[in-house]
């Protein structure tokens, strides 16, 4: 009997070491190495895997070919039956791809995939594997959501070997695993959810998806800070990593692409959690613009670019005289460090001092703004709150602010202005380089070069 070998694996990045050490050399984290037992290589495993890699059209191959000769028509996309889901995926599901869907508990990951699986099962072969719920619990949820359950193949199992054997027999076009943290391989001695189990289970399932041209949909858990649980190498194995976000007090959910080999990154899809499950929101700007009748100081609408479309969201600023020696800077939905930088630019190039004020910023609707086009809108909202002067309800603002006070252009400026005009806005303050030669009908576009120019316009 061969002696069992072991290695020490970092729980943060998945790096392996032969012996224990206090600090991981890859991610520089301390006390993150845990011992895992390594399974001995099975005889003939490499030969069988190599045979499988070249056994299907459009999959992995050991033959050297010219890139121009690869026929893309052999890889058609499959619709997930949700337009917003397809948008985030880059146009639909790609056969042979592995997609990881993460999110906090209760965000709706299982609900979204169950709805997708039930609808796809009406015309395609779908196998749904649950490792967290019993078949009766899944059936009860499907009945509550009023989903068509006929045709959907179900399996309650956590053994990867058993799942692969069933998948070989059923040959599904779409394979759903809920969740990857509950799966385990018999050869790995660690418990399910550990670094080695998650990594090897995902590798085995992904290998099967590539070899059989199956769409693999994995559910993944996240840690308390919102990052994906498990080794970092898991995100490198898969083709697309999606994150479903949404607070327990909000009925809206946002699906954002963090990695996608077949489409744009940071694409955003919006869903509403209703009584009968998730429903896609085809016009997200409308739900984020539900403002009160009376316009308050510090409230302003900006146009951000999410993936391949513009999105109108409201930013709110509140400034209050601080009783602390170090005034607070709180930003919800925006980068707090960038807020501090913008306030310094406002003081230096706008002549407005906020060092004695507590500054609070909020993006309405729980949207996280990651781009710099919100800079000018943030400063305008701050000035409005500082001077207690409400802004026009028909005003929309976007633009990047530089450290010298210049207003820099942002991508897709023309499309942002057109989107604002569609929603009834009649005035826009934009960077001069983004100003159109001909403004949309009913829209007054004011082009500015400096922060002082924008403040003078207001």
In a domain, 360, yes or no: yes
In a domain, 64, yes or no: no
Instruction: List residues forming the annotated binding site.
Output: 103-110
Among the candidates 262, 282, 302, a domain finishes at 282
In a domain, 48, yes or no: no
Alpha-carbon distance of 376 to 378, in angstroms, equals 5
**3-class secondary structure for 74-143?**
HCCCECCCCHHHHHHHCCCECCCCEEEEEECCCCCHHHHHHHHHHHHCCCCCEEEEECCCCHHHHHHHHH
pLDDT digits (tens, 9 = 90+) for 246-269: 766 678 888 988 899 988 887 889
- If asked whether residues 2 and 107 sit together in one domain, one would say no
In a domain, 66, yes or no: no
- If asked whether residues 296 and 431 sit together in one domain, one would say yes
- If asked whether residues 248 and 266 sit together in one domain, one would say yes
Which pair of tokens denotes residue 208?
A: 């099967």
Q: How many domains does the chain have?
A: 3
In a domain, 272, yes or no: yes
pLDDT of residue 32: 81
Query: What CATH code is carried by the domain that includes residue 350?
Result: 3.30.230.10
- If asked whether residues 214 and 355 sit together in one domain, one would say no
CA pseudo-torsion sign 187, 192, 198, 202: positive
Among the candidates 226, 257, 282, a domain finishes at 282
pLDDT of residue 431: 96
- If asked whether residues 278 and 308 sit together in one domain, one would say no
- If asked whether residues 218 and 356 sit together in one domain, one would say no
- If asked whether residues 152 and 250 sit together in one domain, one would say yes
- If asked whether residues 85 and 29 sit together in one domain, one would say no
- Number of Cβ within 10 Å of residue 333's Cβ equals 18
Interacting residues of 424 by C-beta distance below 8 A, sequence separation 6+? 394
Q: Please provide the average confidence, as pLDDT, over all residues in the chain.
A: 87
- If asked whether residues 267 and 321 sit together in one domain, one would say no
Alpha-carbon distance of 283 to 123, in angstroms, equals 28
pLDDT of residue 49: 40
pLDDT tens for the chain, 458 residues long, are: 455 577 787 877 777 888 888 998 888 888 888 777 665 544 444 433 444 433 333 455 568 889 888 777 667 889 999 999 999 999 999 999 999 999 888 889 999 999 999 999 999 999 999 999 999 999 999 999 999 999 999 999 999 999 999 999 999 999 999 989 999 998 887 778 877 888 889 999 999 999 999 999 999 988 766 666 666 678 888 999 999 987 666 788 889 888 999 888 878 898 999 988 999 988 888 777 766 667 889 999 999 998 788 999 999 999 999 988 899 999 999 999 999 999 999 999 999 999 999 999 999 877 889 889 999 999 999 999 999 999 999 999 999 999 999 999 999 999 999 999 999 899 999 999 999 988 898 899 999 999 999 999 88
In a domain, 51, yes or no: no
Instruction: List residues forming the annotated binding site for ATP.
Output: 103-110
Model pTM score: 0.75
pLDDT digits (tens, 9 = 90+) for 32-81: 887 776 655 444 444 334 444 333 334 555 688 898 887 776 678 899 99
- If asked whether residues 267 and 126 sit together in one domain, one would say yes
pLDDT of residue 267: 85
> Are 110 and 244 spatial neighbours (Cβ–Cβ below 8 Å)?
no
Among the candidates 230, 254, 282, a domain finishes at 282
- If asked whether residues 300 and 380 sit together in one domain, one would say yes
In a domain, 65, yes or no: no
- If asked whether residues 180 and 197 sit together in one domain, one would say yes
The C-alpha angle 96, 103, 120, rounded to 5 degrees, equals: 40
pLDDT of residue 38: 61
pLDDT of residue 292: 63
Based on C-alpha coordinates, what's the Rg of the chain? 26
In a domain, 62, yes or no: no
Query: What CATH code is carried by the domain that includes residue 124?
Result: 3.40.50.300
pLDDT digits (tens, 9 = 90+) for 152-166: 999 999 999 999 999
Residue range(s) defining the domain that contains residue 24 = 1-38
């Amino acid at each position: 009997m061969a002696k069992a070998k072991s290695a020490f694996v970092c729980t943060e990045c998945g790096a392996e070491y032969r012996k224990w050490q206090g600090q991981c050399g890859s991610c520089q984290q301390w006390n993150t190495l845990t011992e895992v037992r390594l399974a001995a290589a099975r005889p003939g495993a490499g030969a069988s895997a190599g045979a499988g890699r070249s056994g299907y059209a459009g999959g992995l191959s050991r033959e050297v070919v010219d890139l121009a000769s690869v026929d893309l028509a052999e890889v058609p996309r499959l619709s997930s039956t949700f337009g917003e889901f397809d948008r985030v995926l880059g146009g639909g599901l790609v056969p042979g791809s592995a997609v990881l869907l993460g999110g906090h508990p209760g965000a709706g990951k299982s609900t979204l995939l169950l709805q997708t699986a039930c609808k796809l099962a009406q015309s395609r072969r779908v196998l749904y594997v649950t490792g967290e719920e019993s078949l009766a619990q899944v059936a009860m949820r499907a009945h509550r959501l009023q989903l068509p359950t006929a045709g959907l193949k179900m399996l309650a199992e956590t053994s990867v070997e058993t799942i692969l054997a069933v998948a070989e027999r059923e040959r599904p076009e779409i394979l759903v695993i809920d969740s990857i943290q509950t799966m385990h391989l018999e050869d790995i001695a660690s418990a399910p959810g550990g670094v080695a189990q998650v990594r090897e289970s995902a590798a085995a399932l992904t290998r099967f998806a590539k070899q059989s041209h199956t769409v693999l949909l994995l559910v993944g858990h996240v840690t308390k800070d919102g990052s994906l649980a498990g080794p970092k190498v898991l995100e490198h194995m898969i083709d697309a990593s999606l994150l479903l976000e949404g607070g327990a007090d909000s009925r809206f959910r946002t699906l954002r692409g963090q990695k996608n080999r077949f489409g744009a990154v940071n694409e955003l899809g919006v869903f509403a959690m209703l009584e009968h499950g998730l429903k896609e929101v085809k016009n997200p700007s409308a739900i984020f613009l539900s403002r009160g009748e009376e316009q308050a100081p510090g409230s302003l609408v900006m146009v951000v670019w999410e993936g391949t479309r513009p999105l109108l969201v409201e930013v709110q600023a509140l400034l209050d005289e601080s009783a602390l020696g170090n005034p607070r800077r709180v930003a919800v939905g925006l980068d707090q460090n960038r807020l501090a930088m913008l306030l310094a630019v406002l003081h230096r190039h706008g002549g407005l001092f906020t060092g004695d004020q507590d500054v609070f910023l909020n993006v309405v609707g729980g949207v996280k703004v990651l781009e710099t086009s919100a800079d000018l809108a943030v400063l305008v909202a701050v000035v409005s709150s500082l001077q207690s002067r409400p802004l026009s309800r028909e005003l929309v603002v976007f633009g990047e602010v530089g450290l010298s006070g210049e207003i820099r252009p942002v991508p897709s400026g023309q499309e942002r202005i057109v989107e604002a005009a569609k929603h009834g806005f009649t005035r826009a303050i934009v960077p001069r380089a983004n100003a159109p030669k001909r403004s949309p009908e009913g829209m007054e576009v004011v082009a500015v070069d400096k922060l002082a120019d924008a403040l003078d316009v207001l």
